[in-house]
Structure 1
Amino acid sequence: MKRIPTFEETYTLQSAADAAGRDFWFNSVVFTYQWWLLVAITIIPFLVWWKIVDRRRFFEITTYGLLIALFSGLLDAIGVEMDAWEYKYDLVPLLDVFIAYDISVLPVSYMVIYQYCQTWRSFAIAHVIVSFLFAFVSEPLLVYLDIYQLIEWKHIYSVPGYFFLAIFLRWVMGKLIKKSQSL
């Protein structure tokens, strides 16, 4: 019969792994070209978005983006925890999620589509395209740059995740907007 570790044993192992991860980040990640790239892809999308965002719908579009960030971060954390993928380089050593994508690249990309694709049809078509681009261009590029490592995952698995995240949260936004208008 397999022995199950106690909470204290699990905590000790996790604490040691966290300390090792921070040491690795401080000694091998920060200020590398990959780290600077992550700084850029965290900041630049927001600078572009700020120039093009529809100020009249600012609250709505930003709310949609925040929901994308929340759910993509949650799904990312689940994937890392389930050993589906891992990140060798990240912006900060404190979280097991890909902050540059979860709070910047994905939300900004999705907010731009949300802003410009007013019909469900155009929105869905745009997100099919973006889902394939993220899965088959962006992810392989991150693998090539040694930032992202697939463990028990294949790029094709990402396509429905990217797509349904956008569709589901647009549906949620529609419900929230309808509810707020009826108050």
Structure 2
Amino acid sequence: MNELGKKIDKISNQLTDLRWEIWTKHSLFTWQWWMLLGLCIVVSILFIILIKKEKLVQTIAYFGIIFILNKYIDEIATALDWYDYRIQVQPGIIPSMLVANLFIIPMALSIIYQRYSKWKPFLIALGLFSIFTSYIALFFLKIVGIYLEKAWNAHWSCISLVVMGVIAKIVIDRVVLIQAHNNGDQSNSDPSSPIT
């Protein structure tokens, strides 16, 4: 077992070296790299502008759930070689896409969650965002050489975004209802009201 562990360490180190090389020599400061960095900045500014301060805590909690779910899906998918990112903003030793996991997906879904507290408009907005991201944005990222699709496809991407958004809404709405019940505040039982 010790010998196998040493082989795994050696291969892991070689993979890290190769990822670092592709990032420093073929990704860093390319136009695609600048585009991804710009997207991070634009989405962050929109998030700050559009966020409603009275719902900040539950929105940040929603953001956290989306971040965790999306990051784990991304890590599993890249580990199983379902897709890969050829160009990334962060150093290439991290195989998952930080731009999508920390900025675009959680921030966009958090804005949708905050803006549409009722289920029907929430599901419509979530569906439209998921379709746009999966069938248009990922297609564009494939064309410009940022995203390489293998066993994964746009359908799986769309389904995973919808499922993540729904799970996070159920969890946060439930927490808000439990808190309102525990506080004895029946008028604050609307899931769209802020956690205090």
TM-score tier (shorter): over 0.9
CA distance in 2: counterparts of 1:35 and 1:73, whole angstroms: 20
Answer yes or no: is 1:111 the counterpart of 2:110: yes
Letter in 2 for 1:160: I
Question: 164-173 vs 108-117, which deviates more?
Answer: 108-117
Opposite residue 98 of structure 1, the aligned amino acid is M
Give aligned-pair identity as a percent.
17
| TM-score of the two chains, using structure 1 as the length reference | 0.93
Residue-by-residue CA offset, 1:89-133 (whole Å, 9 max, x unaligned): 111123111111111111111011111111111111111111111
Whole-Å separation in 2 of the counterparts to 1:168 and 1:175: 11
Structure 2 CA distance for aligned equivalents of residues 66 and 17 of structure 1:
29
Q: For 2:18 and 2:179, how far apart are their aligned partners in 1?
A: 47
- TM superposition outliers: structure 1 runs of 4+ over 3 Å: none
Shift of 1:164: 0.6
CA–CA distance in structure 2, aligned partners of residues 142 and 180 of structure 1: 42
Q: Which amino acid aligns with 1:137?
A: I
CA distance in 1, matches of 2:66, 2:158: 15
Structure 1 regions of 5+ residues with no counterpart?
A: none
Instruction: Specify the alignment match of 1:170 in structure 2.
Output: 169
Which structure 2 residues correspond to residues 1-183 of structure 1 after superposition, within 5 A?
Answer: 6-93=4-91, 94-181=93-180, 182=182
Shift of 1:178: 2.5
Distance 2:114 2:58 in 1: 9
Q: CA–CA distance in 1 between the matches of 2:64 and 2:89?
A: 19
In the alignment of these two chains, the number of paired residues is 179
Counterparts of 2:177 and 2:94 in 1: how far apart (Å)?
35
